[in-house]
């Protein structure tokens, strides 16, 4: 753990400077910052996540998860109406989302489901499909929607703190708080479990009364934080 309390200016520059020796397409520049090295390429990123760029990069807002991540979300009334943007051109693009940790995944003809709010960036070669959790309870929990990302290419997701991966088996289902659930394997399809007793309305009333239940064989990624989403006005 870094216990240094003060820096000289040269020390700050040395520690905080980008690593110019790495030039992967998606690169973890800092634990909470993604560097995207664009070479006449296009990506989709969470709107508002751009913190800096160098070069010739154009941006285009796309509204609430429209087109590139499914027109269905234009009609969504959820609090997770994540707004997106396209970034296209040549240069270095730096992305971050409220100090959350960034995880880069390189899919190799694979698929993964991600909570829509936790998608930071995807390259244009990744196919995507969005589905709302078809449950009244799901809407009560914030209208959770899942993004299926498939194919070969880079994606970047975010988590509050270091996530925990839980194994799911036929004999051992896993139950998670919807607001702490980040991602899960392609062969799992979660259900919403309700426990709406009188006591469930006391306290936070999130994961205590509504849970996502995972059956089958696979894994679930959870974060040590309940990220409650609030409805956004279009």
Q: Any idea which residue has 């730096």 for tokens?
A: 94
Nearest to 232 by CA among 35, 80, 9: 80
Contact predicate 117/46, CB 8 Å:
no
Output the six-digit token pair for 107.
């899919």
Tell me the pLDDT band of 193, cut-offs 50, 70 and 90.
confident
Q: How far apart are CA 155 and CA 148, in angstroms?
A: 11
Give the model's pLDDT for residue 154: 92
SS3 133: coil
Q: What percent of the chain is modeled with pLDDT above 90?
A: 43
Q: Is the pLDDT of residue 98 over 70?
A: yes
46-93: pLDDT as tens digits: 988 999 999 999 998 865 444 444 444 444 433 344 577 899 999 999
Tell me the pLDDT band of 233, cut-offs 50, 70 and 90.
very low
171 burial type by CB count under 10 A (0-12 exposed, 13-18 middle, 19+ buried): exposed
Q: Which is more confidently placed, 138 or 158?
A: 158
Question: Within 10 A of 12 (CB to CB), how many other CB atoms are there?
Answer: 11
What CATH class has 9-222? alpha beta
Strand order in the sheet with 174-176: 174-176, 210-214, 191-194
Q: Is the pLDDT of residue 122 over 90?
A: yes
Average pLDDT, the chain: 77
């Amino acid at each position: 753990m870094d216990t240094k309390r003060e820096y000289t200016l040269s020390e700050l520059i040395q520690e905080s400077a980008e690593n110019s020796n790495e030039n992967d397409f998606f690169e973890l520049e800092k634990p909470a910052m993604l560097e995207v090295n664009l070479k006449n390429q296009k990506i989709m990123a969470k709107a508002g996540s751009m913190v800096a760029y160098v070069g010739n990069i154009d941006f285009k807002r796309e509204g609430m998860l429209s087109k590139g991540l499914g027109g269905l979300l234009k009609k969504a009334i959820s609090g997770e109406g994540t707004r997106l943007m396209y970034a296209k051109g040549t240069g270095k693009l730096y992305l971050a989302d409220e100090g959350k940790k960034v995880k880069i995944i390189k899919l190799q003809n694979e698929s993964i489901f991600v909570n829509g709010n936790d998608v930071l960036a995807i390259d244009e070669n990744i196919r995507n499909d969005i589905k709302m959790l078809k449950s009244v309870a799901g809407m009560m929990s914030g209208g959770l929607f899942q993004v299926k990302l498939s194919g070969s290419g880079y994606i970047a997701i975010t988590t509050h703190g270091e996530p925990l991966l839980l194994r799911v088996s036929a004999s051992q289902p896993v139950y998670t708080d919807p607001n702490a659930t980040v991602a899960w394997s392609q062969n799992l399809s979660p259900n919403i479990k309700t426990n709406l007793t009188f006591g469930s309305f006391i306290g936070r009333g999130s994961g205590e009364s509504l849970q996502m239940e995972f059956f089958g064989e696979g894994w679930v990624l959870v974060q040590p934080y309940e990220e409650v989403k609030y409805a956004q006005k279009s």
